[in-house]
Structures are given as structure tokens and as C-alpha cells.
Structure 1
Amino acid sequence: MGENGIHTNGGDLAGGILRLRCAVKNYEWGKVGSDSLVAGLHEANSGSRVDPAVPYAELWMGTLESGPSHVVPSAENGSGSVTLKSWISENPNVLGRTVLEKWGCDLPFLFKVLSVEKALSIQAHPDKDLAVALHREQPLLYGDDNHKPEMALALSPFEALCGFVSLQELKEVLESVPEITELVGNQVADKILQVDEGDGDERAKPLVRLIFTQLMSAGSDATKDAVSKLTNRLRSKGTDGELLSEKDGLAVRLGRQYPGDIGVMSSLFLNYVKLKPGEALYLGANEPHAYISGECIECMASSDNVVRAGLTPKFRDVRTLCSMLTYNLGYPEILKGFPLSPYITRYLPPFDEFEVDRCDLPSGESTVFPAVPGPSVFLVIEGKGKLQTGSSQFPVNRGDVLFAPSHTEIQVTGDNNEVKLYRAGISSRFFQRKIDEED
């Protein structure tokens, strides 16, 4: 054992810091072969060759059992690989007292990289109470009882749908898209058109729920016919030289990817968000969303619960999705982060389970990640350099994923290149609240 009773077998480098081998997910919507950032990082992380014909969608870093990270065996002892979760269970003190008391012997967050070529499903994640109920009633579909708030931090230009549009924009959609009225009927559409802006969103929400539920629940044949009419009409406008709006152009793209899918039409109800690199979007429980294209860092509470209802060949739980949504109206908040130091930017969504730090380190420079009361996971996206904790120093390279125990100060120094890395850890707001409660 090392200091503080921490086992030093496996990929332990210094002070309990571990190198990790991480799981990759080859979902069909991912970027293919070497076009995928996930593929390149997975190759660097695992030594596996990239298959040029396979989509590489997600790199998972954490303890979730459906895609666990493994501790890299040490060259000295040749020990077999163990999961990070198993290692933490043998060394629970690495999490810190506060984290251990709150979440037990597990990481409360899952850290990911996504490479999106084709739109993901229109979906939402349940709150804690609903997650418990869904897991109890349908454990094969909903494999755990945890909620799943999440955040996407753009690495490239990144497109997403998120939350319902404003009441005014929804009225404009209903007035300009006759195919929606064909599916839901004039009576429902007229109710929304008659809501006065001064009445506020609270009066509109039940009506938005009604029309969205009827839209998503429409029969298969009627849906295919309406979506075909919509996309053909929009394509004809474009062919005739008439400029399509961004949302109309997106509907045409989605129609090519998912012909006849109700998600093509329901996308018009949702905000179309275009993130620049370095901007982030956070998604609370029961908010509808779909990622469209691009590459991002994603962090979330450690769960795999997804309720889907469109743009997917997977199981659709339309009734659950439509009943769980908040139906909040308006454009979502975009996080730009705030500086912790000259080279580190923090993204702090309103969730206890996680925060994310972005580090852009110029050639030859150094920066310090201060010790925090909980564990951290680091991912090197680009470049190579050195990491130092205490008196120990070791090299880091693109694709390296590192686990750092609580109360570990880490200094990073770049070699003759720029180093870009990301850190996921438990929210500093959570720790501050605990300190305030104890005072």
C-alpha cells in the first residue's frame, strides 16, 4: 500500500493517480473511422487500431457498469486489469469523506467524448423519482434508478435541439406548417394561436403539452404521409430558389436521415442551438433535446437512463416522454465558462454531481489544478507534457485518461507544443454547501 492506505498496484503513478483504459461505443450515429475524434482518442488510449468502416460515437470515462473504465496494469507487477469501480471499492478513501457519505463507493459522474455524424434521438432524462419508478417497473429498458442531468461542451461547431421554442415562435410554426395541423387538428392548434402573449407561459404550457402529445402519438401511416409532404414542400421551396430558414433546412436534413419519422416534424417545436467551440449547453431532468452534429465533451450524472420518442430505431416510450416534460418555453442558457486561472476555464452547471474544467496550455507553460475534496478524471485531448503531484512527475500524451484521488494538487507542464486537456470533478458548489452546513 501507498500513503493513506491506498493500494499502489495497477496503473498507479504517484499519490494514487491512475492511468485508465476507457470504453468506446460504436453507435450508428457516430463519425466513421479516422473522421471521428473519439476514434483517435480511443486508439491513443487503448492501442487499438481504428477500423475505417466503423462509426466511433462515444468514449466513456467512469464507473458505469455498461461501459466501465479499467485501471492500466503496471509494467512492474504485470497485474491483471481491474475496473476503476472495483479499485475504488478497495480504496474508498480516495473519494473523500463528503463524497463517500453522499454517493458511496462510486463516481457520481460519467465523463464522455462524443463524435456525432447523424442526429441522436429526441429524448429526455428522468428526474430521480421518475428514474426510481421506471427502473422498478421496466428494469430491462431503464437499467438504473438514477437521474441524468448532463452538459455538452463543444469541441467543434456543435448543433443541438434543446427545450421548447417561445410561444411566439410556436405560433409562427403552427401558422406556416400546415402538415402539423393535419396531424393534430385545427381545434388544438387554434387553442395555442388564441393564447395572448400577456397571459404568460403558464397558461400556454398545458396547451403545448396537449399539441406535442398528440403530434408524437399520431398514427404511423398519417405520420409518414405528413412528414413526406413537409419535406417535399421544403425541398421544392429550396429548388425554386426560395431561401429556407435554418429550422426548415434542418428539417430537410433530418428527413433524409430519418424518412417518415415524427421527430422531423417535432424538431420544429424545439430550439435549434448552434454552439461555438468552448460554449456549453446544460440539460436538466425532463427537458427534451437531441444532438444533431459535431464533437463535444459531455458530462452527466452516472446513469444510462434515456426516454426516447423520435429520430431513432430504438424503443420509443412516447407516453412516458410526453408526460414527464416540463414544457418550459424559451431559449436555453449557454455557458461560456469563467476563468480559474490564465489557462483554465470552469463550466459549472446547476448540478451537484459534476463540473468541467477546460485547460488550454501554451507550449512550455505550466498551470496548477488545486487540490479539491473529491476525485477528478483528466483527459488529454491534444499535445503532450508532464504531470506532477508532490515530488513525482510523469509524462502525459494525447488520449491519456487519469484518475486523481481527492485532495491531490496537480501541476501540468507542456512540452514544446500546446496541451489541451479537460477535467471532470464533483461540483465545487456541492462542497461549498457542505462547508456552509457544517459551520
Structure 2
Amino acid sequence: MEPWDKNMKKKRKRSRRPVRLRCSVKNYDWGIVGRHSKVARLFALNSGSDIDPAKPYAEFWIGTHESGPSYVDSGSEPVSLKAWIARDPSVLGDKVVHKWGADLPFLCKVLSVGKALSIQAHPDKELARVLHKLHPNVYRDDNHKPEMALALTEFEALCGFISVKELKDMLSSVPEIAELVGVGDAERILLVNEQHENGKSKTDLESIFSRVMLLSKDTISEMISKLKRRLNLEKKKRQLTVKEQLALRLESQYPADVGAIAAFFLNYVKLNRGEAISLGPNEPHAYISGECIECMATSDNVVRAGLTSKPLDVQTLLSMLKYRQGSPEILQGVSLNPYTTRYLPPFEEFEVDCCNLPQSAAVIFPSVLGPSLFLFTAGKGHFDAGLTEDDMVKEGDDIVEEGEVFFVPANTKISITAKSTELQLYRVGVNSKIYRDL
């Protein structure tokens, strides 16, 4: 056997070894404070750091994006996961490298949402390239950012535009918005036939929403003051609707912000643990409260228009939005085995497996043609990649606990067994449909 052939075999053997990751945290002001935050607990366990009881912990990032890179825990000089992959892109698998190049095509986060995130949308690929070229300090990459939020707790969100029927109901029940629209236009919209004039309804929706979002700060402040006075009087006589209660809650978090009015135009969704929603490019949304696993294409592009202290780009947001109306689909996932549920969004870059293993139970994740990230969110267990003792970096590497994260190369089978308690984990990988399509 030639020496180079031996070296290639050794390289392949090394590349099959999963590696532990040290991950990044974001302390945005909308995060959950201190130990109440799942993000805080995961980051503290992952990094070995202490939790600041007065600091909000918002996002735990797992991936290669420069805004929050993960590092390979090699025991020596830290190396970013992106640089580690670049040394041997075969860890991604040939099909992934062919389609996306020598980088991880997905980004995973854990979110702890204490108060509402901005009303926002993510650009498609074409717009992302334009925005990145024009404003590289704001739009840090040229990729799109389709995403999925999988609830860890009860999770509230606004996403997509309300139906024709709900638009009519809003104009009948929210006089502050009806006044802006005008009596004549409001009456005309109320007479729209939902089945035959849906296109006209979307035009009306776009027109009204744009007018609201472009109002001056003084006009918005006056509009919200009227809304607050009316609702505070009416709640003494009746139960406020979910949207009315939400508008008051958002205004208390972001006083005189247009987001309190914009919320009436968007679908309100409450997810139970284990339910998910997917959001394509150019779809308006805002996360309100709760904790979730969020997975997306590798991008950090966000166009914001309210409910934030960060820079706004209202004109860009209005120009890019999809005015698709109706409630979003709630994803329940598909059972793979008694312990594992798979969530398959309509995006090529990612899928998510949720696994809950009772004590002493075991599960196998078969080898796949692309890379995976494994995040352990509770419990303790045994993690086996089918390696020999010589392959392990050090004794005890096969024991996993809450807060640990692994990068698993392509074509690597993983066996996991729960130890003293129930073990909870998530696997993120490239959407398996691409392996069938390529």
C-alpha cells in the first residue's frame, strides 16, 4: 500500500470522529433574564461559565456564521468550526459540498424570548445579494434565511397576514385603523366577496398595512393613545380579544411603537411544546414569548420595521413582503421511531429531529450523506459513533450531558443511550429530500 493511501485512510478515519463544540451566546435585551433562561443554562454548561443573574440571555448559536461562530473543542488552540471544515470539506459529504460548497448550509439556535422580537422579514437570495452589496455592515451575508421555530415551551408568535374575513372583522372592531382607512374605503372592503375578489383584498391589505407602517411617529403615538384609552375602558365591561390584549402588551414593552398596531394585521399563533412553524423568505413575523429551537439557512439577514431599538428599514420591508393571507400551517412532525420525531420544512437546507429517551432506552441515528449537529438539552447518556477506543480523544468522551453540542460528519452512524435520567436531544441536518433529488 502506498504511503499516501495510508494517509488518506487515516484522514477519512479522523474525519468520521464527531467533535464537541463550544458555542456562542447573544444577550439581546428581549432575552429571558438569568437562570430562568434555557439559553443561559445551556451556554453556562457548554462553556463552563457562570450565569449573570441580571443579564438577559436571548440566543445560543450553533454553526459557522461569523456573527456567532462555534469552535471545535480540541483541547489545544481553539479553531472555528468553519475553519475546521475547510481543512477537510469531505466531512460535509460530497453532495452537500457540490450543492453549497465547503460550509455548513444550516444554522441552529436556541431562543429564550422574554419580550417581543422585532416585526421583521428575511430577504430572498436575490434581494440578499443586493442588500449585502449596498449595506454590508447591516446585511452581513448574501444568503436567504428561511427558518423554522420548534417550541420547547408554550411559544407565541405573529406570522403571515390575516385572512380576508379577519381583515373585515378588524375594520369593524378597531376604529383607530378604520379611521385611517376612511369610511368609504372601509365600507367597500367590508363588501368584498372573499372567494371572488381575493386579489383585490390583498391589494387593499397591502395598501392599508403600508400606510400604517409609514405613519409619522407623532401620528402613531396619537393613534396608540386612542387605542389604549378605548381598550382600558372596554376591559372593565368585557373580556378583551387575544389581539387586543396583545396590542396592550406590546405597547407596554415598546411604548408608542407602530408594532402594537401592526399586530392586528398578522396571524397570532400559540404553539405547544413539540409544535413548529416554518417561515419562508419575505414573510412577516415576530416572536412574542417562550423558548424554541430555531433552525435556518446560514444567514443573519433581518429587515426590521418595529418592536425594536435596532435600525429599521421600513421601505425595504414593505417592498419585499409577500401578502399571502391565512393561518400558517402548524407542523406536528413525523414519527421515526417511539422516541424520535422529524420536522421537515419546505426548505432544502435543514431538517430537525427531536428525541426524548426514557432512562435506559436507546436509539440509533443511521448514517446520512450530510453533516449533523447534535444538541443535548436535558439528562445524561452514552454517545457512540461506532469508533474504536483508539479513535476516542480521551476517556469519558462517550458520556454526554445537557449543554453539550457535537458536529457529526457525513456517513457516521450514531447510537445514543439514556443513563440516569431521561435524555432530550435535537439533531439538525440537511433536509433528507435533497439526497433523493440529487
Q: Distance in 2 between matches of 1:56 and 1:31?
A: 6
Matching residue of 1:131: 128
Matching residue of 1:152: 149
Matching residue of 2:392: none
Is 1:297 aligned to residue 296 of structure 2?
Answer: no
Q: Distance in 2 between matches of 1:342 and 1:298?
A: 23
Is 1:366 aligned to residue 362 of structure 2?
Answer: yes
Is the 1:7–1:91 Cα contact (8 Å) retained in structure 2?
no
Letter in 2 for 1:292: I
Shift of 1:198: 2.4
- TM-score w.r.t. structure 1 length? 0.94
Matching residue of 1:203: 200
Matching residue of 2:11: 5
Q: Distance in 2 between matches of 1:154 and 1:106?
A: 27
In 2 relative to 1, CA 4–94 (structure 1 residues): closer, same or farther, beyond 3 Å? Answer: farther
Letter in 1 for 2:128: A
Is the 2:348–2:431 Cα contact (8 Å) retained in structure 1?
yes
Is the 1:184–1:215 Cα contact (8 Å) retained in structure 2?
no
Q: Distance in 1 between matches of 2:188 and 2:86?
A: 56
Letter in 2 for 1:222: T
Matching residue of 2:430: 426
Q: Distance in 1 between matches of 2:19 and 2:428?
A: 15
Is the 1:3–1:15 Cα contact (8 Å) retained in structure 2?
no
Matching residue of 1:406: 410
Is 1:120 aligned to residue 126 of structure 2?
Answer: no
Q: Distance in 1 between matches of 2:23 and 2:416?
A: 22
Q: Distance in 2 between matches of 1:275 and 1:328?
A: 21
Question: Which deviations, in whole Å up to 9, do the C-alpha atoms of 1:365-415 show, x marking residues without a partner?
Answer: 100001000000000000000011114471101000000000000000010
Matching residue of 1:44: 45
Tell me how many residue pairs correspond in the alignment: 424
Matching residue of 1:308: 304
Letter in 2 for 1:73: S
Matching residue of 1:337: 333
Is 1:192 aligned to residue 189 of structure 2?
Answer: yes
In 2 relative to 1, CA 264–3 (structure 1 residues): closer, same or farther, beyond 3 Å? Answer: farther
Letter in 1 for 2:271: L
Shift of 1:191: 4.4
Q: Distance in 2 between matches of 1:3 and 1:400?
A: 29
Q: Distance in 1 between matches of 2:186 and 2:87?
A: 59
Question: Which deviations, in whole Å up to 9, do the C-alpha atoms of 1:276-310 show, x marking residues without a partner?
Answer: 00000000111100000000000000000001101
Shift of 1:110: 0.4
Matching residue of 1:22: 23
1:261 to 257, 260, 279: 257
**Residue correspondence of structure 1 range 23-422 to structure 2 within 5 A:** 23-74=24-75, 79-238=76-235, 240-392=236-388, 394-422=398-426
SS of match in other structure, 1:297: strand
Q: Distance in 2 between matches of 1:69 and 1:430?
A: 25
Is the 2:16–2:91 Cα contact (8 Å) retained in structure 1?
no
Q: Distance in 2 between matches of 1:132 and 1:94?
A: 28
Question: Which deviations, in whole Å up to 9, do the C-alpha atoms of 1:18-59 show, x marking residues without a partner?
Answer: 000000000000000001000000011000100000000000
Question: Which has the higher mean CA deviation after the structures are superposed, 222-231 or 395-404?
Answer: 222-231
Unaligned runs of 5+ in 2: 1-6, 389-396
Shift of 1:192: 2.7
Is the 2:16–2:411 Cα contact (8 Å) retained in structure 1?
no
Is the 2:106–2:295 Cα contact (8 Å) retained in structure 1?
yes
Shift of 1:164: 0.5
SS of match in other structure, 1:59: strand
Is the 1:191–1:207 Cα contact (8 Å) retained in structure 2?
no
SS of match in other structure, 1:287: coil
What is the RMSD computed on CA atoms of the aligned residues?
Answer: 1.5
Question: Which has the higher mean CA deviation after the structures are superposed, 207-216 or 385-394?
Answer: 385-394
Q: Distance in 2 between matches of 1:352 and 1:130?
A: 19
SS of match in other structure, 1:198: coil
Q: Distance in 1 between matches of 2:206 and 2:184?
A: 14
SS of match in other structure, 1:115: strand
In 2 relative to 1, CA 3–54 (structure 1 residues): closer, same or farther, beyond 3 Å? Answer: farther
Question: Which deviations, in whole Å up to 9, do the C-alpha atoms of 1:161-185 show, x marking residues without a partner?
Answer: 0101110101110111111133344
Shift of 1:103: 0.9
Matching residue of 1:437: none
SS of match in other structure, 2:195: helix
Q: Distance in 1 between matches of 2:66 and 2:9?
A: 28
Q: Distance in 2 between matches of 1:189 and 1:380?
A: 52
SS of match in other structure, 1:223: helix
Unaligned runs of 5+ in 1: 9-13, 435-439
Letter in 2 for 1:85: K
SS of match in other structure, 1:328: coil
